[in-house]
Amino acid sequence: MKLCIFDDDRIGVALGQDVVDITDVFASSFRPTWPYPKYDWIINNFESVRPHIDEAIESGRRVPLASVRLRAPVANPGKIIAAPINYKDHIAEANNDPQINHGKTFTDLSTLGVFLKANSSVIGCHEDIRIPFPDRRTDHEVELAVVIGREAKKVSRENALAFVFGYCIGLDMTVRGPELPDFRKSADTFSVLGPWIVTADEIPEPNSLDLSIHVNGELRQQSNTKYLIYDVQRLIEYASAMYTLYPGDVIMTGTPAGVSPVTYGDILEASVSGIGTMTARVAAN
């Protein structure tokens, strides 16, 4: 199932060239609580209402996909955990580019760890990416994003996929510089998620997905998640050893080689097999 959020925070399922509005399924069962939970309510309760979703898909209002404005499919993740470098070709690229490494030597996650991105950086693919420092290099980084579906703490690699709700495409936008990555990668609009979440039952093997990005029609990055140094299961194991993961938390798995600058007016087309393609635009800040 392709679960999306569109227009004025409507909840939908993408089917072919249409979106089926299933907002009422969740609106009728939503009961706000205090204090607010640490998890995404929709994702946490998805399985309990799935039979009603299946009914709504048959009878719900359909709108053309081309006519809607897609928002981030996880509206407000509690945290975004990101791998700073997780492909060998990107390690080589970073170590050979002084504008990326700024005198540092990159290795892998065993020494670098992961970092957190602000949830205020999240947007959908139909919202503009804005460059906060026009005088500094800002790069695109296409990634597979993992959406957590169950509370997870110190899970084993063998059981890790049982805690996944689904997958989406992620753009980890990055200002190059000497500062820590959580500063340079957490600007507003710097975590583009979309175009929807494909539920985990439709992607049983996340470690064999093609991913790519075109900028203004030019291919910039192309790889496959089989080249991840820490694969999806190991990333979940690694992250959950440090943090409690909650439904709706997002893990950005890292980007392959080919990162390069973007500027105002650029059109970014990011694709991951099994998920689809999302198109985002870079606008003036």
Q: What percentage of the chain has pLDDT greater than the value 70?
A: 98
Residue 195: is the preceding peptide bond cis (ω within 30°)?
A: yes
| pLDDT tens digits for range 244-262 | 999 999 999 999 999 999 9
In this prediction, residues 206-233 reach a mean pLDDT of 99
All structural domains of the chain: 2-71 (2.30.30.370), 80-283 (3.90.850.10)
> Which residues sit opposite 5 in a β-bridge?
11, 71
| pLDDT tens digits for range 14-55 | 999 999 999 998 877 666 677 777 889 899 999 989 999 999
Q: Give me the phi and psi of 146, to 5 degrees please.
A: -105, 130
pLDDT at 201: 98
Question: Chain-wide mean pLDDT for the chain?
Answer: 95
Q: pLDDT class for 192, splitting at 50, 70, 90?
A: very high
- Residue 114: which residues within 8 A CB-CB, separation 6 or more? 81, 82, 83, 84, 235, 238, 239, 242
Q: Taking a C-beta distance cutoff of 8 angstroms, is the pair 269, 99 a contact?
A: no
Q: Rounded distance, CA 182 to CA 199, Å?
A: 28
In this prediction, residues 74-80 reach a mean pLDDT of 94
Q: Taking a C-beta distance cutoff of 8 angstroms, is the pair 166, 147 a contact?
A: yes
Q: Taking a C-beta distance cutoff of 8 angstroms, is the pair 283, 264 a contact?
A: yes
Q: What is the pTM of this model?
A: 0.96
Residue in the block written with tokens 């039979």: 51
